[in-house]
Amino acid sequence: MPASNDLPIDSPEATQIWKRRTWILGLISLGPLACGCRGYSYGQLLKPTDKDLVGSHEAGSEVFHPLVDESVAKLLTRQQEQCYVGADGTPQKKTICFVCVENKMSEDIGDFKDQLYEQIDSKILESDVFRPISRRMVDAALHETRLRPDSLMVPDNMQLFTSVLQRQGAPIDYLLYAKLTSGTTERNSSKQRDYLLTLELTNVHSGEYSKESAEIRKGYHKTPLGGVWNYNPLK
């Protein structure tokens, strides 16, 4: 068989070789665009209808946002059923102090902690059930009393904390805590993590306690077929 350099330029064999080389060179030139260049990153603005990115190693928006929506909705629904009605027939809002978000999971939630607080606080503010007080007032009262959020359930500490808020013009009826927990089940190279967001509500006058929660399960796999293998409905 003659070498490609010896073939006539207009021969079918030379044309085929030229097309093959052009195709290979095109793939090589597209390589950096497909893989990304070192030192560069690319952003994308998402529409409200776009799905959240699913984290490959830890929980993210796809877990936290639905947990907040469900748990807060349950809390507001129950409290609305138990709300007080004034002499004029209108529901009386309860003053609530949202203390903090506690992370008891095996994962570090990073900057999601403040975002979860703001999301829960905003949904409560929009409701007709509670009248929340400013987070800045809560932080100032904790700083003045030198108390940790987890120590407010001690009666003397609770009385001291609520008295400081009352002096600031913000008497409260309830303390609210949000707590994140997780449980992990491992199976060979796959694992399932169950995420639970619990909202704990305590009446500062009577000590009455209630809570609402929401749960999401998420699987993590080291192979693309891990989800099919572990969650096959036919198994």
pLDDT at 235: 60
Domains, the chain, ordered by start: 61-220 (3.40.50.10610)
Q: Which residue has the tokens 């305590």?
A: 202
Q: Is the pLDDT of residue 202 over 80?
A: yes
Q: State what percent of residues in the chain have pLDDT above 90.
A: 47
Q: Of 9-23, 37-51, 151-165, where does the model show the most confidence?
A: 151-165
pLDDT at 51: 79
Cα separations (Å) of 79 from 67, 83, 94, 167? Answer: 18, 6, 9, 27
pLDDT at 195: 96
Q: Is the pLDDT of residue 92 over 80?
A: no
Instruction: Please tell me the distance from the alpha carbon of residue 176 to that of residue 189, in angstroms, as a whole number.
Output: 39
Q: What would you measure as the largest C-alpha separation in the chain, in angstroms?
A: 104
Q: Is the pLDDT of residue 164 over 60?
A: yes
This prediction's pTM: 0.77
Instruction: Please tell me the distance from the alpha carbon of residue 77 to that of residue 60, in angstroms, as a whole number.
Output: 26
pLDDT digits (tens, 9 = 90+) for 106-157: 999 988 999 999 999 999 999 878 889 999 999 999 999 999 999 999 999 9
